[in-house]
Amino acid sequence: MIELSLIENIFLISLIILAFIMLFVKKYINAILIYAAFGTILSGVFFIFNAPDVAAVQMTIGSAFIIFVYIIAIKTRSKITVGYVETPYLFEKHGDKLLGFEKDLLDNFSENSFFEIEYIPIKKEKLLEYINNNEFDIIAGGIIIENENECNYIFSKKYLPTKLFEYKGKIDPNYESIVLNNQGEKKIIDYLRLKNYFRKNSDIEVKEISSNSYRFIFSKNNKALKDDFNRFLKTFLNSKEYESIVRRNIG
């Protein structure tokens, strides 16, 4: 009787612990694994309390079948396309690998959603054409928006602050910032591009003019995707993983 009581307590406490952990799980696959453990233990509880028929139903339908459905749903995730402009620290090719802060950010979004991402390189000079034609679900690559209240594009919330500098001199166009809705004539370079430029050159004068942030641009045909990403971002910005990808890619 004492052993049975001990087993009951262990099972019931385990259910409470797993239910509590479930509240803080962010990745679908982890949630499925915890749910599987919860369902298995719950089946054991029913069996201990002399309800083997209920235990069998819980194990087969409540656990195994539902987990099977979840796994199928994850494997048949919707595919979205991300057109990216290669940008220092944000999207960079190193051999066959695609690295960078924005790449890691989108990978985390993919892991926490039902979206599978296909990354496609795009030319910087055709960026506006791609945006206006809605050719990609997301366009990335160190994009900055000025006068956002007057901007007609669908864009994400801010996810990485930066500073903008006016520069004097001539630089490779690849270093110039992508500033949408820019109503001025100033030559602008953002902090990360400037940081990368000064690693190899020192022939321009710069003056800080404002603070801003990098954004993603979303297709007007998929506004729900923007909402999904912004909901993910609201939680992710306060996570240790966010701090980790900043340190790993930017320092």
Q: What's the confidence (pLDDT) of residue 36? A: 78
Please say if the pLDDT value at position 75 is more than 60.
no
- Total structural domains in the chain? 2
Give the mean model confidence (pLDDT) for residues 48-61. 77
Give the mean model confidence (pLDDT) for residues 7-24. 80
Write out the DSSP string of 7-65. HHHHHHHHHHHHHHHHTT--SHHHHHHHHHHHHHHHHHHHHHTT-HHHHHHIIIIIIII
Q: Do 159 and 56 have their domain in common?
A: no
Q: Do 88 and 40 have their domain in common?
A: no
* Residue 16 belongs to domain spanning: 2-75
CA dihedral 112, 140, 102, 117 (to 10 degrees): 40
Please say if the pLDDT value at position 2 is more than 50.
no
pTM recorded for the entire structure: 0.73
Q: Do 160 and 44 have their domain in common?
A: no
Identity of residue 124 = K
Please say if the pLDDT value at position 65 is more than 80.
no
How many residues in total does the chain contain?
251
Cα separation, 165 vs 171, in Å, equals 13
3-state SS, residue 178: strand
From residue 103, alpha-carbon distances to 2, 29, 30, 100, 170 in Å are 55, 21, 22, 5, 29
Q: Do 63 and 154 have their domain in common?
A: no
Cα separation, 16 vs 220, in Å, equals 44
Q: What is the CATH number of the domain that holds 220?
A: 3.40.190.10
Q: What's the confidence (pLDDT) of residue 112? A: 83
Q: What's the confidence (pLDDT) of residue 233? A: 95
Q: Do 21 and 110 have their domain in common?
A: no
Q: Give just the sign of the alpha carbon dihedral 122, 105, 158, 188.
A: negative
Q: Do 128 and 165 have their domain in common?
A: yes
CB 38 within 8 A of CB 58: no
Q: Which residues contact 18 (CB under 8 A, 6 or more apart)?
A: 34, 37, 38, 41
CB 237 within 8 A of CB 159: yes
Q: Do 120 and 205 have their domain in common?
A: yes
Please say if the pLDDT value at position 185 is more than 80.
no
| Residue predicted with more confidence, 28 or 160 | 160
Q: Do 21 and 66 have their domain in common?
A: yes
DSSP label at residue 237: T
Identity of residue 62 = G
Q: Do 71 and 144 have their domain in common?
A: no
Phi and psi at residue 135, in whole multiples of 5°?
A: -80, -20
Phi and psi at residue 35, in whole multiples of 5°?
A: -65, -40
The closest of 116, 115, 135 to 217, measured between CA atoms, is: 135
pLDDT per position as a tens digit, 24-49: 776 666 777 787 788 888 888 888 77
Q: Do 8 and 104 have their domain in common?
A: no
Q: Do 48 and 107 have their domain in common?
A: no
Q: Give just the sign of the alpha carbon dihedral 108, 112, 118, 122.
A: negative
Domain's final residue, options 75, 106, 137: 75
Please say if the pLDDT value at position 54 is more than 90.
no
pLDDT per position as a tens digit, 97-132: 999 999 999 999 998 887 889 999 999 999 999 999
DSSP label at residue 87: B
Percent with pLDDT over 90 in the chain: 50
Domain's final residue, options 59, 75, 91: 75
Strand partners, 189: 165
Cα separation, 168 vs 204, in Å, equals 6
Q: Do 121 and 201 have their domain in common?
A: yes
Domain's final residue, options 22, 46, 75: 75
pLDDT per position as a tens digit, 136-154: 999 999 999 988 887 889 9
